Amino acid sequence: MRLAFLRRIHLFRDLTDEELAVVAEEFEEEVRKEGEVICEQGSEADRFFIIYQGRARVSRVHRKEEQELAVLVPGDYFGEEALYNHHKRSATVSTAETSRFFSLTRAQFDQLIKQFPKLKAGFEISIASRRLAREMRFNWLRPDEVAYFVARKHETLLLQSLSGPFVALSVPIFLLVYFFLTRSFLSIFLSGILFLVVIAWAVWNAIDWGNDYYIVTNQRAVWLEKVIGIYDSREEAPLNMVISVGVETDMTGRLLNYGNVIVRTYVGKIPFRHVTHPYQAAHVVEELWTRTKQSASRQEKEAMRNILRQKMGLTVETKVETEAPKLDKEVMPKLYRRSIFKVITDNWFKLRLEDSGIITYRKHWFVLWRQIWQPSLLIFLIVMGMFARLYTLITTPSEKLFDFTNGIRVDTVMIALPIVLLPLIGWWIYQFIDWRNDIFQVTSDQILDIDKKPFGTEERRAAPLENILSTEYHRIGLAGYLFNFGTVEITVGASKLAFEDVLDPATVQADIDNRRAARILQKREAEAIAERERMSDWLLAYHENEPELRQQEAPPEAESKSE
């Protein structure tokens, strides 16, 4: 039992059965009551723990405020970071319910690390992941989501990206030497400029290397990719969509212990490129993927057991269930009395609206400006021309707006400019309505891409939320990065829908994922209830008629004797 439990944890995947048996013998089993503190922040580290049954809360006091970091479940472990690095505890862990743990003393922990060096890789990626998770604090994680694996590309890729600037430094160094030989001020000037350019190039590459993250939570696998000022994207897939996990390495990667972890899903793959300890990283993904499947199976069995007990008139055991993901609701401001004009125009320029459970997005203001800048410029020039002409008429006695000498005559320019202005205003209004009518919506059961031309046709594309296989977003170009807009691509079967040029695409993606998760849970629950009802009716019918069916069975011995 203990061996099978430890085998499922990624730390011990590379051990043989004999080695794992030695490790299992070292663990001590202990039970802690609900609310009991297992280890306290700032205290000396003395033990390593694995949760066998129950749950534990991880909290941390930061700036005199207590923050809950995570809720740990069976298979999770804690305490290794302080033991491994000889530090004090970085957080407080307490039981959320009566729980059972496997634990090692500091001496046992150190001895096992020395005896089985293969354990070091698993602990190292775990410690590095927790450190990065604390530093980054990804704000798109859901309240019930825990990051188990967080990694950057291997340091070798950083050195490769810095090799170009390092070689380029030879040019300003050469110019500097040339200055000392010839006292040419042009060479020292060029040397200084090129030196700054090379340093900026190196800093750019270093920041670019540090902006790519690979993350695995208890719910999904995520690849964050960012190029400063150019590109920003997040590609992800739920763990229940994963079909396999593989590792790819080359000779250099095997020598330096890095490689690619390929997480394949129903619609493609999410590559974790050039990560340290790739096989151990793959074990983490596999462990969490297996947990997801086992959790779904346990919930289904428990629900089936309860419905059978209910139909048979027995007592149904009720357990506190984890709440389903809730939709993020926008905080609504207080309503004050507003003018009719304010009520009508209040939502004209809003980029995100939420009304009656429907979230509506419009394209970014930058896109609106691209559509209206030409008519806006022409309107501005004509209006300025009208004011200039009016000023000329006022300040020049010989020029008059209205001339009654030979009948009624009006200044030609003041008539022509408003006539030219009218179609430009119509052009501006057309472009504004065209921008305003191009909307994207997320409802409780579907997503919609609606494109309606002013005075023209309306094109509407829709897809059920439960049919979404994956989502990713991109911010491309300097404008997209500076003004925080981009495109969210939604894969639905063999086709894709795109929410183009929306404000804060990461939040839009989160909105879609939250609605999709809620919808899938709702639909699965309805289907599971119907299936349980059907199966329980069959089982109950068999249970009620089992004595009669047994009596009607013909004894085979009697038939053989009659023959």
- What pLDDT digit, counting tens, does each position of 499-535 carry? 999 988 888 888 888 788 778 777 777 777 777 777 7
Single out the residue of 441, 481, 562, 553 nearest to residue 230, CA to CA.
481
Please, is 116 exposed, middle or buried when counting C-beta atoms within 10 Å of its C-beta (0-12, 13-18, 19+)? middle
The residue-averaged pLDDT of 173-182 equals 88
pLDDT reported for residue 406? 66
Which stretches of 385-517 are assigned E, i.e. beta strand?
402-403, 409-410, 438-442, 446-452, 458-464, 468-476, 485-492, 495-503
In tens, the pLDDT along 344-367 reads 444 556 788 877 778 888 888 888
pLDDT reported for residue 285? 92
- Secondary structure of residue 150 in the 3-state scheme: strand
pLDDT band, residue 404 (cuts 50/70/90) = low
Which stretches of 239-340 are assigned E, i.e. beta strand?
242-248, 258-265, 268-276
Helix (H) or strand (E) holding 148: strand 147-151
For the ranges 206-215, 234-243, 247-256, 310-319, the lowest mean pLDDT is seen at 310-319
Instruction: Supply 276's token pair.
Output: 């340290």
- Work out the percent of the chain whose per-residue pLDDT is above 70: 88
The residue-averaged pLDDT of 157-182 equals 90
∠79-80-83 over CA atoms, to 5°? 95
pLDDT reported for residue 112? 92
CB atoms within 10 A of CB 108: 16
Single out the residue of 223, 235, 216 nearest to residue 289, CA to CA.
216
Query: CA 281, CA 333: separation in Å to the nearest integer?
Result: 45
pLDDT reported for residue 278? 93
Q: Which position has the higher pLDDT, 233 or 486?
A: 486
For the ranges 288-292, 431-435, 478-482, the lowest mean pLDDT is seen at 478-482
**In the predicted structure, residue 407 carries a pLDDT above the cut 90:** no
**In the predicted structure, residue 311 carries a pLDDT above the cut 80:** no
pLDDT reported for residue 341? 45
The residue-averaged pLDDT of 410-431 equals 87
Cβ atoms 365, 351 nearer than 8 A: yes
pLDDT reported for residue 347? 53
pLDDT reported for residue 322? 41
Query: CA 554, CA 225: separation in Å to the nearest integer?
Result: 71
pLDDT reported for residue 232? 66
pLDDT band, residue 327 (cuts 50/70/90) = very low
Average model confidence (pLDDT) for the chain? 83
pLDDT reported for residue 146? 87
pLDDT reported for residue 98? 93
Selection from 138-147, 229-238, 521-530 with the highest mean pLDDT: 138-147
For the ranges 176-180, 185-189, 407-411, the lowest mean pLDDT is seen at 407-411
The residue-averaged pLDDT of 480-505 equals 86
CB atoms within 10 A of CB 129: 20
Rounded to the nearest 10 degrees, the angle between the axes of helix 118-136 and helix 106-115 is: 120
Single out the residue of 329, 321, 311, 360 nearest to residue 521, CA to CA.
321
pLDDT reported for residue 554? 53
Q: What is the DSSP letter of 265?
A: E
Write b or e for each residue in 344-363: b if 16 or more Cβ atoms lie within 10 A of its Cβ, otherwise e.
eeeeeeebeeeeeeebbbbb
Rounded to 5 degrees, what are φ and ψ at 199?
-65, -45
* Strand 468-476, strand 352-355: pairing: unpaired
The residue-averaged pLDDT of 111-124 equals 92
- Work out the percent of the chain whose per-residue pLDDT is above 90: 35
Q: What is the DSSP letter of 277?
A: S
The residue-averaged pLDDT of 283-306 equals 83
SS (H, E, C) 77-99: EECHHHHHHCCCCCCEEEECCCE
pLDDT band, residue 116 (cuts 50/70/90) = very high
**In the predicted structure, residue 335 carries a pLDDT above the cut 50:** no
pLDDT reported for residue 216? 93
The residue-averaged pLDDT of 470-482 equals 84
Q: Which position has the higher pLDDT, 114 or 333?
A: 114
Q: What is the DSSP letter of 489?
A: E
Query: CA 32, CA 23: separation in Å to the nearest integer?
Result: 22
pTM score above 0.75:
no
Helix (H) or strand (E) holding 52: strand 47-53
**In the predicted structure, residue 214 carries a pLDDT above the cut 50:** yes
pLDDT reported for residue 93? 94
**In the predicted structure, residue 343 carries a pLDDT above the cut 70:** no
pLDDT reported for residue 141? 83
pLDDT reported for residue 329? 38
pLDDT reported for residue 422? 92
pLDDT reported for residue 334? 38
Rounded to 5 degrees, what are φ and ψ at 132?
-65, -40
